[in-house]
């Protein structure tokens, strides 16, 4: 008997072609009424859910899939997957760890250089025929102090890159890592005080919500730059906008926002902000590797059944 799979999120292009001969695939409509109608019709037969870290597995969707056995998600973030509910029901949750680590670390370096060297302003000047007119100088990155909030797989890949920029490296997370040569701080405020660049790369979710608040931003100070490639929820976005407007920090490079894809007008108006659309893992190589993991996770789970 065919196995029914629900496709509820955008996926890399190599996923569905590998699965359509093996499974009966149902794509969740974007329109809420159409989605409800579809779930009423096929929800009970769905055994696998294909999604991504941003679109996740909302509670209401899980409730509409009483016979779900596996969630295969593209990405490593689990904050939108309702893991506790899923695991409580015995649903297996699979993500795509490892394959995107290097690109996200590269993305953080790109945002660090773009903010401190004012690359976007410089580029806009050239395109507007203004060359050097009214273009302030940027600041050096080499030798500046890097603070990493979350020295996990991506944080460590970032640290390895920062060594080549002669940056002294410090970090904060819940547990000190005895295997790395970097300086540990037992609070985010203390890390921010000791940093010229503070890079956020902890998971999202309630445990890290608004971890970067006004106090942390003030500890980073007027010469400090905040980079967020983790999750928007980790930074208090209203406080960040205020700090940028008031020059209490120098700049920010943000790949993730609190309410994606909504971008606050106040951020768009600021010259000292570089924004990318949750794009740090967005290379062809990584997306195809993520897609392969998503497909393999499903194929391996159902095996020869
Ligand atoms: P890892 O699990 O390898 O590392 C996460 C690190 O965060 C750990 O070292 C952990 O240390 C620390 N951490 C977790 N919870 C807390 C907490 N409450 N307080 C302080 N530190 C904490 O994950 P990755 O490095 O692979 O990925 C990190 C995150 O990056 C993902 O969860 C995802 O949200 C985001 N991401 C963003 C992408 C993008 O495109 N922008 C792409 C991929 C990932 P400890 O347990 O000691 O606290």
Write the pLDDT tens digit of every residue in 6-33.
999 899 999 999 999 999 999 999 999 9
Q: How confident is the model at residue 304 (pLDDT cuts 50, 70, 90)?
A: confident
The per-residue pLDDT for range 203-241, each reduced to its tens digit, is 999 999 999 999 999 999 999 999 999 999 999 999 999
- Mean pLDDT in the chain? 97
265 is catalytic: no
Q: Which atom of ligand 1 is nearest to the CA of 211?
A: 19
Q: Quick one: what percent of the chain has pLDDT higher than 90? A: 99
Q: What is the pLDDT of residues 239-280, one digit of tens each?
A: 999 999 999 999 999 999 999 999 999 999 999 999 999 999
Task: Please determine, for residue 50, whether its predicted confidence score (pLDDT) is greater than 90.
Answer: yes
Mutate to test the pocket of ligand 1, among 76, 148, 188 (most ligand atoms within 8 A of CB): 76
Options 185, 278, 287, 293, the catalytic residue:
278
Catalytic residue status for 231: yes
The pLDDT of residue 261: 94
Asked casually if ipTM beats, i.e. exceeds, 0.95, the reply is: yes
User: What is the pLDDT, as a whole number, of residue 1?
Assistant: 80
Distance from C-alpha of 305 to C-alpha of 302, rounded to nearest angstrom: 6
Q: Which of 176, 202, 254 to mutate to test the pocket of ligand 1 (most atoms within 8 A of CB)?
A: 202
* Distance between Cα 66 and ligand 1 center (Å): 30
Residue nearest to atom 14 of ligand 1 (CA): 202
The ligand 1 atom nearest the CA atom of 207: 18
Model confidence pLDDT, tens digit, residues 83-104: 999 999 999 999 999 999 999 9
- The answer, yes or no, to whether residue 80 has pLDDT greater than 90, is yes
**pLDDT attached to residue 305:** 85
Please indicate whether residue 256, judged by its CB atom, sits closer than 6 Å to ligand 1.
yes
Query: Average pLDDT of 34-38?
Result: 97
Query: How do residues 118-167 score in pLDDT, each as one tens digit?
Result: 999 999 999 999 999 999 999 999 999 999 999 999 999 999 999 999 99
Instruction: Confirm whether 278 is a catalytic residue.
Output: yes
pLDDT of residue 250: 98
């Amino acid at each position: 008997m065919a196995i029914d799979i629900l496709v509820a999120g955008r996926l890399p292009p190599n996923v569905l072609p590998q699965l359509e001969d093996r499974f009966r695939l149902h794509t969740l409509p974007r329109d809420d009424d159409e989605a409800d109608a579809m779930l009423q019709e096929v929800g009970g037969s769905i055994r696998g859910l294909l999604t991504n870290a941003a679109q996740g597995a909302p509670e209401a969707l899980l409730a509409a899939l009483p016979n779900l056995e596996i969630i295969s998600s593209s990405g490593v973030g689990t904050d939108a997957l309702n893991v506790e509910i899923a695991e409580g029901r015995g649903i297996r949750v699979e993500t795509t760890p490892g394959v995107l680590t290097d690109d996200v670390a590269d993305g953080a370096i790109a945002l660090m250089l773009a903010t401190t060297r004012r690359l976007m302003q410089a580029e806009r000047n050239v395109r507007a025929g203004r060359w050097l007119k009214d273009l302030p100088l940027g600041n050096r990155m080499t030798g500046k102090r890097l603070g990493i909030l979350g020295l996990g797989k991506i944080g460590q890949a970032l640290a390895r890159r920062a060594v080549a920029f002669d940056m002294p490296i410090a970090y904060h997370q819940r547990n000190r890592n005895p295997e790395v040569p970097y300086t540990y701080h037992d609070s985010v405020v203390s890390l921010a005080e000791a940093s010229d660049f503070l890079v956020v790369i902890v998971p999202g979710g309630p445990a890290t919500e608004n971890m970067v608040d006004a106090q942390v931003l003030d500890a980073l100070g007027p010469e400090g730059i905040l980079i967020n490639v983790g999750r928007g929820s980790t930074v208090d976005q209203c406080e960040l906008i205020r700090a940028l407007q008031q020059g209490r920090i120098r700049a920010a490079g943000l790949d993730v926002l609190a309410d994606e894809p909504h971008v606050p007008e106040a951020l768009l108006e600021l010259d000292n902000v570089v924004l990318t659309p949750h794009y740090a893992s967005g290379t062809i190589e990584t997306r195809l590797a993520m897609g392969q993991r998503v497909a393999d996770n499903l194929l391996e789970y159902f095996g020869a059944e």
